[in-house]
Amino acid sequence: MNTRGLRSQLKDSVPVTGLCPQAGPYGVQDSLRRGFSSVKNELLPSHPLELSEKNFQLNQDKMNFNTLRNIQGLHAPLKLQMEYRAARQIQRLPFLPSSNLALDTLRGSDDTIGFEDILNDPIQSEMMGDPHIMTEYKLGIL
Amino acid sequence: MATVSVCQYHRGGFSFENCKRNALLEADINKLGLSSPAARKTGTTICGLVYKDGVVLGADTRATEGMVVADKNCSKIHYISPNVYCCGAGTAADTEMTTQIISSNLELHSLSTGRPPRVATANRMLKQMLFRYQGYIGAALVLGGVDCNGPHLYSIYPHGSTDKLPYVTMGSGSLAAMAVFEDRYRPNMEEEEAKRLVRDAIAAGIFNDLGSGSNIDLCVITKGKVDYLRPHDMANKKGVRTGNYRYKHGTTGVLTKTVTPLNLEVVEESVQTMDTS
């Protein structure tokens, strides 16, 4: 699945805007795909909560794994992360909605309701993502 | 094609796309000297206290929108679970949605554990959610209930801090209500005395604070029973009109009376069918 080596691995972490320029594969600004860039747009997030919300799930996971490591040793988070990685691979094509049932069960979010279930539910969005762009991004070709 | 988010599957939750545009619009409006519409708040008096057998929660019923009363009889005591209720002050939508989300989560949690929910669980869920949003969700709550460990009362601030106390007040009329509590509260009161004290505290908020008004709602929670008294006391009933400007029949004497029938003939009759499919 990952055909382009390191670059496709890097994209899994959520970038913090302002620290890395929106470089395309040739190192220059990719206006067609990323839109116009302005220094002000990238330095300041449009809302103080934007960054923390984008990274919230990642930060929660990191914190939980750290606690687990401190309490129960290295093997516990290691095994859980392996299971997460396996569950994350059970997906439909990138532009189609996947139920993420295994991942939800592991995380425990199958019996919680948050704002992500009520507001902006992706199943009810009127527009679909462009299949070509999204598949290319997933394979790391973009 | 304008952002990175186009390449990944769209996630739910809050969307910050319009924040910059809104900030620009706000600046433009302020330059013209006008002001953008304000969110509906429940500038409020809410309070709660722990008495001998349980918890009494009280709230007024006025919702304001800027300087205008938006709702004369809104309900501020929200259901969380059969033994836990929550009063909400602050932005009305925020308190509604937050309490509904926590109520759902608590129900799922209690189904998963197989035990009746505890007040401390609701408190922790609320506090973690409000801290996550750093105070942007403007909900100040008074959470009270009775569980297996007895009666509990918490006050929760919009930024996520909580206090566990025997009597709490929140909202714009909280100082007036707290003055009444500080004067007359005793531990282990009887139910009638506790209800009267909460009623007086809310009345103090209603009559001395512009943001609170109308009726007083009470909620008495004990081990097996919940009494939701809405309204407990209609402190501000709208007055009944004493006089009437309409003249009675026969006030003016009739001198003459002529009747002229108008003969109208049907000139044209057309039927237009509605498309009700």
User: Residues B35-86: pLDDT tens digits?
Assistant: 887 777 768 999 999 999 999 999 999 998 888 888 889 999 999 999 999 9
In a domain, A9, yes or no: no
In a domain, A1, yes or no: no
Nearest chain B Cα distance for residue A39, angstroms: 14
What number is the average pLDDT over the span A13-37? 57
**At B35, phi and psi to the nearest 5?**
-135, 145
In a domain, A6, yes or no: no
Instruction: Given the cut 0.90, state whether the ipTM is greater than it.
Output: no
Are the Cβ atoms of B101 and A115 closer than 8 angstroms? yes
* Structure tokens that stand for B228 in this block: 């939701």
Cβ-based contacts of B107 with chain A (< 8 Å) = none
Residue of B nearest to A59 (CA): B132
What number is the average pLDDT over the span A68-95? 93
Q: What is the CATH number of the domain that holds B75?
A: 3.60.20.10
* Lowest mean pLDDT segment, chosen from A20-24, A27-31, B83-87, B150-154: A20-24
What number is the average pLDDT over the span A42-69? 87
Res A39: pLDDT: 65
In a domain, B32, yes or no: no
Domain span at B75? 41-233
- What are the Cα distances from residue B260, in Å, to A19, B253, B264? 90, 21, 12
Selecting from A15, A45, A116 the residue whose C-beta is nearest the C-beta of B12 gives A116
pLDDT at B1 over 90: no
- Total number of domains in chain B: 1
What value does the mean pLDDT of chain A take? 78
Res B150: pLDDT: 95
Res A33: pLDDT: 57
Are the Cβ atoms of B1 and A33 closer than 8 angstroms? yes
Cis bond upstream, residue A21 (ω within 30): no
**At A134, phi and psi to the nearest 5?**
-70, -35
In a domain, B20, yes or no: no
Strands B216-222, B167-170: pairing is unpaired
In a domain, A31, yes or no: no
Res A25: pLDDT: 62
pLDDT tens track for B194-204: 999 999 999 99
User: If DSSP codes are grouped into helix, strand and coil, which group holds residue B58?
Assistant: strand
What number is the average pLDDT over the span A66-95? 93
Cβ-based contacts of B105 with chain A (< 8 Å) = 112-113
Cβ-based contacts of A10 with chain B (< 8 Å) = none
In a domain, A65, yes or no: yes
Element (DSSP H or E) covering residue A120: none
pLDDT tens track for A78-88: 999 999 999 98
Set B42, B44, B61, B121: catalytic member: B44
Res B76: pLDDT: 94
In a domain, B252, yes or no: no
Instruction: Please give the residue that has the higher pLDDT: either A45 or B54.
Output: B54
In a domain, A105, yes or no: yes
In a domain, B12, yes or no: no
pLDDT at A20 over 60: no
pTM for this predicted structure? 0.80
- Report the interhelical angle of A75-88 vs A56-72 (nearest 10°): 150
Rg (CA), chain B: 27
User: CA B107, CA B121: separation in Å to the nearest integer?
Assistant: 11
Among B161, B169, B170, B151, which Cα is nearest to B223's? B151
Selecting from B14, B109, B134 the residue whose C-beta is nearest the C-beta of A119 gives B14
Cβ-based contacts of A63 with chain B (< 8 Å) = none
In a domain, B155, yes or no: yes
pLDDT at A45 over 80: no
Instruction: Please give the residue that has the higher pLDDT: either B112 or B249.
Output: B112
In a domain, A30, yes or no: no
What number is the average pLDDT over the span A45-50? 83
| Interchain contact A19–B (C-beta under 8 A) | no
- Total number of domains in chain A: 1
DSSP state of B137: S
In a domain, B91, yes or no: yes
What number is the average pLDDT over the span B134-152? 94
Q: Active-site residue B95, yes or no?
A: no
Domain span at A91? 55-113+125-139
Nearest chain A Cα distance for residue B102, angstroms: 8
What value does the mean pLDDT of chain B take? 90
What percentage of chain B has pLDDT greater than the value 90?
Answer: 65
In a domain, A64, yes or no: yes
User: CA B140, CA B87: separation in Å to the nearest integer?
Assistant: 8
